[in-house]
Structure 1
């Protein structure tokens, strides 16, 4: 089984923090949909267990576009009857008609970027929706029969207080989502938000305040019955994101579209991050991509930076079988001091981060990598 990711780069407007490849060139939608359908036909593979349409803003596509994409998926791939099929949507794009369309296409999970329930902060981010539209969207989806809903939240806005963040958490919980992803606001180089930081028009939040916000998030969601199954992800029992989990557990996945990444046959590849170059190449029957063959050291490092993000961590028995005695000894030697400092733990033959270790996960992972 493999996962299928389809990148839909179109946005009506760009959020100031977003570092993902996107475009506002809506006039290219027809050609782009033709191209991704052709790429799927060029890349027939094994059975598909999860499908994820991400972006960009997949909910910006028309009914005809979405029908063509799903018709091609079903023509090209054998989709597991119990497949998890996710579409990312902006709350203001979700209408009763759109929700019914998704159900008819087989979509059974929707991920929405609420980000915050503070309208002034939504305007600061250049988000199109307002806070009340999130509730309206959730109501539309549930009425149509989609009961697996994920909400994205951000914390760490300039001048945000802990009480304001607690209010956002409570507003999100009032929607009773099955899944919640939460991230600290990041200042990625090349984004408008980063330029504001460089121009000293905004200031990053204090690190201790950000840490307190993350603590509050973990405590409140755990209390509400959510499983903290990955550093930034929480789910009610049975509602982990199966597709995203494939990234963290080295399950093969196919990436379709401009900038999409793939992991197949111990190779990593990624398509060009340029919609015009992508369309031109695909329509000529060529896949515009870079391919990297993964040696054992690279695969080991990938495992460190993915499996350690999860609640279960690294399966030490599987790790030893896969990577051999030398890398196993290296890992255990590097982890020894961190276990003594209560930054990591071993339970049931799995090495994972403790809650204390979560706070400095990047540093720990760097130490454990075979550099």
Structure 2
């Protein structure tokens, strides 16, 4: 099995926290979508005939695609590969795009899972982040999507936004649970240097939350999700039983995937490929039948560290037998004392040779993973 990711690099406006590749100029949108369809054709052999189990439209803002553009891309995929009858086909969407007519278009095109970038239900926070939608649209779009027949909906929320206390975050969560969605992705507000918030922070115009404040909101999140029947199957991802993101879960399980579009990444088990993050350079290269990508061949250490990085974040944990047998890396022998310390501090557990992080450990996941990396 395999997956396909399509990067749609267009947005109505720049969110103040976002450092993904996108353009707010729509002048070359039609040409870029045509180039993405052509890249699918040029790279039809990348996945070596594996059946496609998941298709994911990310961005950018894929909900800016017209029905004709969406159908072009999906029809191109189906003409080049075998797509599973029950394939998960996800589209990321902004609330302000999801009017009833648009939702019907998406459903007619074959989208069966919506990923809606709500981020917050609190109007001042939405304005601070420069989101294109308002708090009313955050609520209404989910209800409209449910009325249109979408039964697999995930929404994004951001925590760690500066506030006097945790009351706004708690209210956001109460509003979320009332909507009865199947899946939630929650991310801490991260201040990236090349963003509006990053520049304001450097000048002292924006003061990020303290780490302790953000950690407390993460702990509130874990408690509330558990109380409402959500399973935390990855550090940032929660679902009702049976509604895991199949596409993202496959990333964490090292399943092969093809990424098309400007800035998209691909993985085939032994290498990663990174498309150029420039719309003009991308379309020009594709017009010359060239794939504008950089290939990174993965060493055994790279592959072992990728496995550690992804599996430690999940409910399934890191199989230490697999690390030893597949990558010749014996973590138990190499880091015996460190792993003992993690268990004594209740940051991790080892059962049946599978390493899991505890809730306390998840707060330190990045550092723990780095400490365990194969050199």
The answer to whether 1:204 aligns with 2:218 is: no
Alignment RMSD (CA, Å): 1.3
- Map 1:27-38; keep pairs closer than 5 Å: 27-38=27-38
Conservation of the 8 A alpha-carbon contact between 1:158 and 1:202: no
Give the 3-state SS of the residue equivalent to 1:140 in structure 2: helix
Instruction: Tell me the distance in 2 between the aligned counterparts of 1:75 and 1:160.
Output: 54
Which deviates further from its counterpart, 116-125 or 220-229? 116-125
Aligned to 2:221: 217
Aligned to 1:72: 76
Equivalent residue in structure 2 for 1:103, among 104, 107, 119: 107
Cα distance, 1:206 vs. partner? 2.0
Aligned to 1:57: 61
Aligned to 1:336: 340
Conservation of the 8 A alpha-carbon contact between 1:335 and 1:368: no
Aligned to 1:16: 16
Instruction: Tell me the distance in 1 between the aligned counterparts of 2:114 and 2:240.
Output: 15
Residues 125-148 of structure 1, C-alpha deviations (whole Å, 9 max, x = no match): 110111111222112222222110
Instruction: Tell me the distance in 1 between the aligned counterparts of 2:296 and 2:164.
Output: 42
Residues 101-133 of structure 1, C-alpha deviations (whole Å, 9 max, x = no match): 111121110001111111111111110111111
Instruction: Tell me the distance in 2 between the aligned counterparts of 1:328 and 1:23.
Output: 47
Aligned to 1:259: 263
Instruction: Tell me the distance in 1 between the aligned counterparts of 2:72 and 2:35.
Output: 11
Structure 1: any 5+ residue segments left out of the alignment? none
Give the 3-state SS of the residue equivalent to 1:342 in structure 2: coil
Cα distance, 1:75 vs. partner? 1.1
Conservation of the 8 A alpha-carbon contact between 2:118 and 2:138: yes
Give the 3-state SS of the residue equivalent to 1:66 in structure 2: helix
The answer to whether 1:178 aligns with 2:185 is: no
Instruction: Tell me the distance in 2 between the aligned counterparts of 1:206 and 1:326.
Output: 37
Aligned to 1:3: 3
Aligned to 2:239: 235
Length-normalised TM-score, structure 1: 0.97
Aligned to 1:368: 372
Instruction: Tell me the distance in 2 between the aligned counterparts of 1:159 and 1:102.
Output: 36
Instruction: Tell me the distance in 1 between the aligned counterparts of 2:150 and 2:81.
Output: 23
The answer to whether 1:308 aligns with 2:312 is: yes
Aligned residue pair count:
371
Which deviates further from its counterpart, 69-78 or 145-154? 69-78
